[in-house]
């Protein structure tokens, strides 16, 4: 059945534009194909004013090493890779996720360890806050999400994942410039930030799935 609330398939005559200059030089992880919907399961993080103040300090310091670094505009913790769903799979995929995640309760994580990441094809570099407490609950969630992905023959999440909230990014593999001295300075900023212990203790209240331009929410109990 056609998923309720979703737009119809785009007009096949409509031209597809994939100009990387229109989105900061980012390169697609997989080619665009009509009828395919990029899909991602994650925990959304809604930044407080104090968190944005910390972010500004971190990005300002990191830009002395990599001037092209840009702060993230939205924040989340991933529970899946970005995968491709066919249009007619979206509704059953979301329904299966909802069933699998229905029993989970709200929980806390601590995300206070600065770490540098690159994507799989090394086209982007990220600075993130890695989770230092709450790992077990996240692995339980990933296990359920992976089960749904396997039902649709889609790639599961990374083995031994480093759960994190991305803070900033840049094009290319610039991890060498951000690791070492820069990373130590960024960790010092986090450790010395007023109320950072309280600020970086995050309560997760919902899981989201983004498919194309549509969002689906799964509240935790």
Q: Looking at residues 35-55, what average pLDDT do you find? A: 96
Burial of 156 (0-12, 13-18, 19+ CB in 10 A): middle
Q: Has residue 17 got a pLDDT over 90?
A: no
Q: Has residue 94 got a pLDDT over 70?
A: yes
Task: Say what the pLDDT of residue 24 is.
Answer: 55
Query: Among this protein's residues, is 76 annotated catalytic?
Result: yes
CATH number belonging to domain 35-219 = 3.90.1140.10
pLDDT tens digits, 116-159 = 999 989 999 999 999 999 999 999 999 999 999 999 999 999 99
Q: Pick the catalytic residue: 23, 88, 135, 164?
A: 164
Query: Among this protein's residues, is 88 annotated catalytic?
Result: no
Out of 5-9, 66-70, 174-178, least confident range: 5-9
Q: Which of 85, 88, 82, 138 is closest to 109 using CA atoms? A: 138
Which one is predicted more confidently, 18 or 186?
186
Q: Has residue 22 got a pLDDT over 90?
A: no
Q: Pick the catalytic residue: 40, 76, 105, 135?
A: 76
DSSP states along 101-121: HTTPPPEEEEEEEEEEEE-TT
- Return d(Cα 182, Cα 178) in angstroms, integer: 5
C-alpha distance across the termini of the chain, in Å: 29
Domain boundaries defined on the chain:
35-219
């Amino acid at each position: 059945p056609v998923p309720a609330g979703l737009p119809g398939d785009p007009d096949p005559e409509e031209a597809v534009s994939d100009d990387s200059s229109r989105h900061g030089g980012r390169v697609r992880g997989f080619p665009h194909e009509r009828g395919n919907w990029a899909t991602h399961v994650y925990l959304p993080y809604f930044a407080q004013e104090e968190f944005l103040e910390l972010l500004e300090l971190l990005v300002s310091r990191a830009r002395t090493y990599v001037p092209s670094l840009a702060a993230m505009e939205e924040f989340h913790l991933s529970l899946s890779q970005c995968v491709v769903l066919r249009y007619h799979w979206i509704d059953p995929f979301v329904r299966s996720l909802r069933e699998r995640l229905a029993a989970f309760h709200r929980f806390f994580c601590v995300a206070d360890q600065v770490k540098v990441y690159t994507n799989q094809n090394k086209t982007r570099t990220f600075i993130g806050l890695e989770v230092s407490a709450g790992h077990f609950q996240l692995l339980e969630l990933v296990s359920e999400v992976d089960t749904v992905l396997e039902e649709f023959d889609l790639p599961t999440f990374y083995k031994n994942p480093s759960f994190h909230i991305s803070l900033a990014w840049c094009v290319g593999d610039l991890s060498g410039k951000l690791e070492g001295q820069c990373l130590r300075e960024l960790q010092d900023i986090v450790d010395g930030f007023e109320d950072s212990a309280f600020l970086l203790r995050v309560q997760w209240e919902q899981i989201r799935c983004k498919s194309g331009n549509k969002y689906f929410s799964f509240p935790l109990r």
